[in-house]
Structure 1
């Protein structure tokens, strides 16, 4: 019979709470930077510049067809061999941004290509500049179309961030591993971590749903 003992967890809730805050911070930074990379990549893929499209295609295919664990090992352990060294936290964020940027590029590209050509022609007929057409005619409708897929990818990014603990980056998984090494209460610690990651995912889902209601909902008809 296993004797459950949650006392070590309760005594170190501040450590796990701090780890959760670090995970939230890391995830938000990676989401914002990843969105920028995704938009730039999608614009490059839908442009008429063939070499640029080819470079983005290579980037997307390499990232999407290799394990995230290998990517983060390459960034943290491989790049120092050519003189590029990073702290564990910086390497973790870079790896997350590169990873989500590849997936986000394809999602946003699909959104851009879903915009009917007639809407773009209408923007030109109204005298809008290419930048204005992209901003008002393409971007917002495209983001509205792909918002659920994009936010699902961001939530997956937050959950994937637990992998960064393998390079000693500071996050919730790393805090749990440190606590487990001190107390050996593995079942209790990882049960609590499971609940905490679930609550984090639920919190991000609620945040993204609120953003969608405020920025991407169609006006109510009268």
Structure 2
């Protein structure tokens, strides 16, 4: 028996599909920016190459990183959306999705960035101190740029993983791409075609995002 594909039924729902793509891109952009900021702060807190840090701060950050890195993303998402209301804090699906992506990327990126920081020669930090740079200036101008250069390929891969992980957010009714594909499948009874289209879109988004991030790294990191 031959399967007769009918993509016209799927493409007739293009506004819903386009909205899903827009939400996936939006979640990825916000999650990446805030997640990298969180990861950088956590890497600074745990790095031994930048001088002593309060022990309590290191333990709190280490606990956060280990907790997130050793639990599934969907569990983290469900905890924020279904668990927090038990404590009196109810989040919208969109806010819970963004927060889960930020928390997840922050934990993974902190270890990636910390590896780059630890690879920075101690002499560079001491040279910055001899030039009367403050610890903040030393971190921003001397330590962080070369650290990001070293680890940027790994960071790009992690960002792509987080973007693809946003497909889970449809489970709490965030209107991203996989949620749109599910709705189109229900409306048209063309599940095979709907998810073929979703797969192709995810593939295109991944390739374009990787190229964009590689260009950003070459332009603003290596170019320095």
Compute the TM-score of the two structures, normalised by the length of structure 2.
0.94
Structure 2 unaligned residues grouped into runs of 5+: none
- What displacement does 1:106 show? 0.6
- What displacement does 1:48 show? 2.0
Task: Tell me the SS of whatever aligns to 2:222.
Answer: coil
Residue of structure 2 in register with 1:14 after alignment: 15
- What displacement does 1:75 show? 0.6
Residue 165 (structure 2) aligned to one of 136, 160, 165: 160
- Deviation string, structure 1 residues 119-161 (Cα, Å, up to 9, x no partner): 1111122222222211111011111111111111111111000
- 5 Å-filtered alignment, 1:59-70, equals 59-70=64-75
- 5 Å-filtered alignment, 1:44-83, equals 44-46=45-47, 47-83=52-88
- 5 Å-filtered alignment, 1:119-158, equals 119-158=124-163
- What displacement does 1:39 show? 0.9
Aligned equivalents of 2:54, 2:205: Cα separation in 1: 40
Residue of structure 2 in register with 1:105 after alignment: 110
- Deviation string, structure 1 residues 71-115 (Cα, Å, up to 9, x no partner): 111110010000010000100111111111110111111111110
Query: Runs of 4+ in structure 1 displaced over 6 angstroms?
Result: none
Compute the TM-score of the two structures, normalised by the length of structure 1.
0.95
Task: Tell me the SS of whatever aligns to 1:216.
Answer: helix
Residue of structure 1 in register with 2:187 after alignment: 182
